[in-house]
Amino acid sequence: MLKIWGRLSSINVQKVVWAAGEAGQVFERVDVGGPFGGLDAPEFRALNPNGQIPVLEDGAFRLWESNSIVRYLAARYAAADLWEADPARRADAERWMDWMLSELQPATAPVLWGTVRKVAGYTDPKVITEGVKRTEALMAILDAQLSDRPFLTGERFGVADIAVGCGAHRWLNMPVERIARPHVQRWYETLFARPAAKAALPLPIT
């Protein structure tokens, strides 16, 4: 049985839990990180020397970095459903996964920290406003991408939808005013109707 280390309030853990669910895998999840602590424990550092979540254990195989874990689960356990065998289609999906890490996640994080988690230094309205502005520019890109297709890379649900869908879930449930993005909203509602998404994306966000 798979073991996933990490608290479910972590967006990176959510990706992995969602992917495991879509792949039909039974798993044990261990709360660690945030209020649960444990990241500096020697036993956890033996799993990930960076002291970060999530970590996946699949028998003797251990893997960290959320996008790498999602790709592994898709390739190993859901090749017919989530994985793209064609190099161009796979690169397209992985491009959006990287976009989530490099663009969307850094943009939304200060908004979450300021409005939900109330982290010192991020509750300044100017910080929140800048985060909202930056995120809105990215959501316009996402809305355009989804304007002529049901999922991020075309007709088929896949790993890109899992990664970016976690970011959309966070953004669309923050206590801020947002510009209406009909294509993003339609896509998000389709994603959140999936049982594996519901299990991985708790509400309210914390």
82 belongs to a structural domain? no
39 and 124 share a domain? no
Q: What does the pLDDT read at residue 5?
A: 98
d(CA 195, CA 142): 23
Q: What does the pLDDT read at residue 31?
A: 98
**Cβ atoms of 20 and 203 closer than 8 Å:** no
Task: Tell me which residues of the chain have a pLDDT lower than 70.
Answer: none
Q: What does the pLDDT read at residue 119?
A: 96
The residue count for the chain: 206
118 and 137 share a domain? yes
95 and 184 share a domain? yes
Q: Work out how many domains the chain is built from and give that number.
A: 2
pTM of the model: 0.97
Q: Which domain holds residue 96?
A: 87-199
d(CA 74, CA 78): 5
44 and 70 share a domain? yes
28 and 97 share a domain? no
Angle at 47 (CA atoms; ends 44, 52), nearest 5 degrees: 70
Q: What does the pLDDT read at residue 127?
A: 97
Q: What does the pLDDT read at residue 7?
A: 98
DSSP H helical segments within 9-158, as ranges?
11-22, 42-45, 66-77, 87-99, 105-115, 125-145
177 and 112 share a domain? yes
